Structure formats: structure tokens, C-alpha cells
Amino acid sequence: MISRREFCELSVKCFAGIASSRLFINQLNAGNQNYPYIHDARYFKKLDNQKIQCELCPKTCIVIPNRRGYCGVRENQNGKYQTLVYGRLTAINNDPIEKKPLFHFLPGSTALSVSTSGCNVKCKFCQNWNLAQSKPEDLNFSYLSPEQLVAMATRYSIPTIAYTYNEPTIFTEYIIDTATVGQEQDVRNVNISNGYINKAPLRDLCKVLDAIKIDFKAYSEEFYRDIVAGSLNPVLDTMVEIKSQGVWLEMVNLIIPTLNDKRSELEQMCKWIIANLGADVPIHFTRFHPQYLLKNLPPTSVNTLDTAYKIAKDAGINYVYVGNVPGHIHENTVCPNCGSDLIVRKGYHIVTNRLKNGKCPDCATIIPGIWA
């Protein structure tokens, strides 16, 4: 396992001024030969007059020469579409997998967690706004090739690489290449995503990813439009596609007071989950803490989270969790058949794991997930 000291040293490297705005601009002007983080993008079509239409996410930006798309990291360089963040890592951490949160995926293990910069939406409640709402040239970074990142994971016996903190969709090319190398080295790969992605790149990701956690903002087009700068239906379609591709899926719904905490909306969401994803997709209802552009709102009450839990259970969802409330009883995985506690958690720590080969030891019910 990687030591705290070694990760601290790597973090210092990431944030010690390796890149600056002036250097970045000079590198762009000099060309891409010596700057591997400037890389050919995929998922686009060429239009007249050197314009490019991006086909990575539902925004389908039309990008004129020497401009970038909405996400700020994909640039039309005189008719050549480039990603500016291929391996351009702005954060590298060794996180508990429970922090993602993924509760039915290698519990008690850790994930080599990496980010770049930028995002294809603008959530007013963004937890990682300093990364997600920044341009590449505004952040210090370390470059790691796919082979180097996988080698780091294997060197320190970290079983999983997680693409997280900012939106991984916008560095899909790097994820696909890294996860492909990872498959050859028995390193798992997971996305922590908003789900705002088109079907073609999603299907390519599903070929190499082991799990995807979707931050589902709200079962409301109005919320997606006004608070997220996105839209609802593409995210619903993404979750259905992930499920159909056989990739392990978990959902998080951050409940924000007055904005997405209506009982009727939660009931509709849970009915949709049962009808389209089934009863076994875990959902995590997590507590909002005031930050970024929503500092005026209070934290989510525990009573509200408990109500959401009950709504989901009453709808028939088998695995429902309450998050961002350390020590809450609904952090635990419970057998839906006999009610036995199977995995007892406290925050990101596993207190007890009673699963036997993915089954309840008391009644032999199979518990869906990736356990080994």
C-alpha cells in the first residue's frame, strides 16, 4: 500500500508550480510534440470553415477555430480537435472506495483517485468547484501517461483507479486508454460521473470500466436547467445504458433543502429507478453542506434524509444508504431477505464485513455487487 509520505510527496509535485498560465500558452504556441497532455480528441465531426461539432456530451458544442467547447478543455486548433487534459492530473489521492461512494464494490479497499480540470455542467453546489470550474492553465498539474498511472497503482497494490473530483466525461480519451492498460494488469477502473454523456463514448467507456457511480442531481428538468446547467433525460438514458451494458452502477442523490427535497419528486424518482434500473441498484441519499454558490442554504436535516430512505425502501429499492452523516445506521448494508447486517460502516471505515462469497451468511441471499 502506498505510504502517506509518498502520496504527500506526489501531491507536493502536483501543486508545486509545475505549470503556469504563461508556460501553458507558450506550449500551445510551440505545438504539441513535447506536450503529451495535448492529445487528439475523439467524438466529433468536422463542419465547414474549420468548425467542429463535439459529440462527447449532450451539449454538442460547435467550436470555431482557436476556441474551446463549454467544458473548457477541448479546443479546435485550426480544424484539429484536441483535448488539453490527457494525463494532465491536478489531484492524485489514495481514497477509501467508500468515499466515492461505492458500497458494493471491493469494500474496505482503496482507489487511486485522479482528476484533471473542467466540467460539462456548472452545478451551483459543486463540491470540487476549484477543479471542475477551472481552466487547465489555471491549475498546477503532473503529467502521467496511462502506463505510468497503472504502474503506480500496481506498485503500491492499489486495486482500483477512480476518475473523480472533476467530471471524467471530459477526459474520456485518457480514461479509455488507461483502463485498457489497467485491464491487462488486473487493475479495476471506475468513473465518478454526472452521467451527462452521449451514447457512443459511454459505450466505449463501458467496455473498459468496472463500475460507474452517477451523481444524480434531481428528478427534475427544472433543477437540471437552473441549478446544474444541464438536462435530465440524457442522465436517465445514461443510467439505463450502463445497466444494459452490465457495468456495476450506483447512484448518489445529494438532497438540497428547498431545491430537490420534495416528497413527490423523490417518490417519482424511486418509481423510475424500479421501473428502469431494477430494485438492486444502490442509491445513496447524501447530506448537503452549504458551499460554492449555495452558501445561503442550510445543511440537509437528518430527518429529511431518513424520509428519503423510507420512500426508497417503500418503493422496493433493496439497497438504500444515507451519506455524509458518519455513524448513521443506514450506512450499513443489510440483507433484503432476512434483515441481517452484512457490512457495518462508520464513515469510510468498514467495521464488519460478514459477506461470504457475495452472499448473506444467514440466509444465502445473493447480494449484487463486485466483492472480489
CATH number of the domain bearing residue 141: 3.20.20.70
pLDDT confidence band for 15 (50 / 70 / 90): very low
The residue-averaged pLDDT of 7-27 equals 39
What is the reported pLDDT for 35?
Answer: 86
Domain that holds residue 52: 22-83
The residue-averaged pLDDT of 200-228 equals 99
Answer yes or no: is 10 within a domain: no
Answer yes or no: is 16 within a domain: no
pLDDT digits over 228-244, tens only? Answer: 999 999 999 999 999 99
Instruction: Reply yes or no: is the peptide bond before residue 107 cis, omega within 30 of 0.
Output: no
The residue-averaged pLDDT of 194-223 equals 99
Same domain for 35 and 172: no
Same domain for 193 and 296: yes
Same domain for 292 and 279: yes
Same domain for 37 and 134: no
What is the reported pLDDT for 2?
Answer: 43
What is the reported pLDDT for 4?
Answer: 47
Same domain for 52 and 102: no
Q: Report the range of poorest mean pLDDT among 5-14, 35-44, 45-54, 208-217.
A: 5-14
What is the reported pLDDT for 280?
Answer: 99
- Whether residue 8 is predicted with pLDDT greater than 90 in this model: the reply is no
- Whether residue 296 is predicted with pLDDT greater than 90 in this model: the reply is yes
Answer yes or no: is 307 within a domain: yes
Same domain for 101 and 28: no
**What is the pairing mode between strands 52-54 and 44-46?**
antiparallel
What is the reported pLDDT for 186?
Answer: 98
What is the reported pLDDT for 206?
Answer: 99
Give the domain-ending residue among 83, 100, 124.
83
pLDDT confidence band for 5 (50 / 70 / 90): low
pLDDT digits over 128-172, tens only? Answer: 999 999 999 999 999 999 999 999 999 999 999 999 999 999 999
The three cell numbers of residue 63 are 467550436
Q: At how many degrees (to 10) do helices 172-184 and 199-206 cross?
A: 20
Distance (Å, whole) CA 201 – CA 17: 33
What is the reported pLDDT for 31?
Answer: 41
Same domain for 78 and 138: no
Answer yes or no: is 364 within a domain: no
pLDDT confidence band for 6 (50 / 70 / 90): low
Judged on CB neighbours under 10 Å (0-12, 13-18, 19+), 60 is middle
Answer yes or no: is 288 within a domain: yes
Same domain for 178 and 77: no
SS3 of residue 15 by DSSP: coil
Answer yes or no: is 368 within a domain: no
- Whether residue 30 is predicted with pLDDT greater than 80 in this model: the reply is no
Same domain for 291 and 143: yes
Same domain for 321 and 226: yes
Answer yes or no: is 370 within a domain: no
Give the domain-ending residue among 47, 62, 83.
83
Provide the domain count of the chain.
Answer: 2
- Percent of the chain whose predicted confidence (pLDDT) is above 90: 90
Same domain for 41 and 189: no
- Percent of the chain whose predicted confidence (pLDDT) is above 70: 91
Answer yes or no: is 342 within a domain: no
Same domain for 77 and 158: no
